[in-house]
Structure 1
């Protein structure tokens, strides 16, 4: 689908790393290509867990050949072991994007929620529901990590304005235009 941007979204995690691939057209319509979760057992040593995560992401990169990779930005959490595992899995995802010659971007959870639901504090069910609606799925994507990966992919494509579209092309929604204007003002 040459007129679409193919985005691999990755919701990093050591136990479950969500992966989702979508094709997003200039008109913001999107098609599901792949969704799943790469899993690693908590009983395994960290190096084996990271190797499993890497193998799973590498497989998706090779099979689906995305144009760009979007990864959830790691943020501070109260549980240090959780944030460390998430950061390690995130690093693996970013490294693999570079190895495949792809641009990688990171987005915060609130950016993703705002892009997909219009509300930066949306809950998991609201995100899953909107992802299912946008992708015309018969059921909610599961597990939640996989739905989050799809939401990341959609967020990235829409923030870019679709498959190479720009704010001047008129294909951006009012919310996307406002976001682009706010980002532009911050850079000045």
Structure 2
């Protein structure tokens, strides 16, 4: 059995979902929670609070991998910064423990779990509930998103994929349309910024 932790990063709400993968595409629910940090607290305290919660889960039964949402957005910079900061904390904690991290865009996860890359949150929640045989849908949406990330990576590993699947700025054979769009947007963003003087 392969244990995968999915993390939907956020500074106010950080979804954590854990599944184990069996033969084929069989996935079993283990745990889900949404960690929160108070919006009125200082940033270092918020990062420490969330980091300590994530550390608690990583120091239990060691997972085979962490699946982390990779978000690309040009709007709402404060929200994107919070996601990036928590993602950095996750990657730091994972590297300390030798746990590989896989990055997925939201569209990749939606396409895997629902079969449709533009699915809405309700559709993702419905499919996660069905795939894991849950009696109740995981709430809030951050919980379902974290479980969807874990399921996506568990299936990737089940197909013989790398545990530390990373996005790259260079094209690779067999990349998905979402991966290609991410790579192209990242390259374009890098060209636009240019070197600082």
With normalisation by structure 2, the TM-score equals 0.80
* 2:116 paired residue among 114, 119, 127: 119
Is the partner of 1:138 in helix, strand or coil?
A: coil
* CA shift for structure 1 position 65: 2.0
Match of 1:152 in 2: 149
Matches of 2:103 and 2:68 in 1, distance apart? 5
Matches of 2:115 and 2:30 in 1, distance apart? 24
* CA shift for structure 1 position 100: 1.2
* CA shift for structure 1 position 146: 1.1
Match of 1:67 in 2: 64
Matches of 1:182 and 1:34 in 2, distance apart? 32
Residues 110-144 of structure 1, C-alpha deviation per residue, up to 9 Å, x if partnerless? Answer: 00000000000000000001001000001111111
CA contact (8 A) 1:21 1:64 kept: no
* 1:48 paired residue among 36, 41, 45: 45
Specify every segment of 5 or more residues in structure 2 that has no aligned partner in the other structure, as ranges: 162-171, 181-197
* CA shift for structure 1 position 181: 7.2
Matches of 2:87 and 2:173 in 1, distance apart? 29
Number of matched residues?
Answer: 167
Match of 2:34 in 1: 37
Matches of 2:99 and 2:112 in 1, distance apart? 23
2:75 paired with 1:78: yes
Matches of 1:100 and 1:135 in 2, distance apart? 28
* CA shift for structure 1 position 60: 1.0
Matches of 1:41 and 1:123 in 2, distance apart? 27
Specify every segment of 5 or more residues in structure 1 that has no aligned partner in the other structure, as ranges: 168-179
2:16 paired with 1:19: yes
CA contact (8 A) 2:16 2:34 kept: yes
Match of 1:173 in 2: none
CA contact (8 A) 2:69 2:149 kept: yes
Match of 2:187 in 1: none
2:180 paired with 1:183: no
With normalisation by structure 1, the TM-score equals 0.84
Q: Which runs of 4+ in 1 moved over 3 A?
A: none
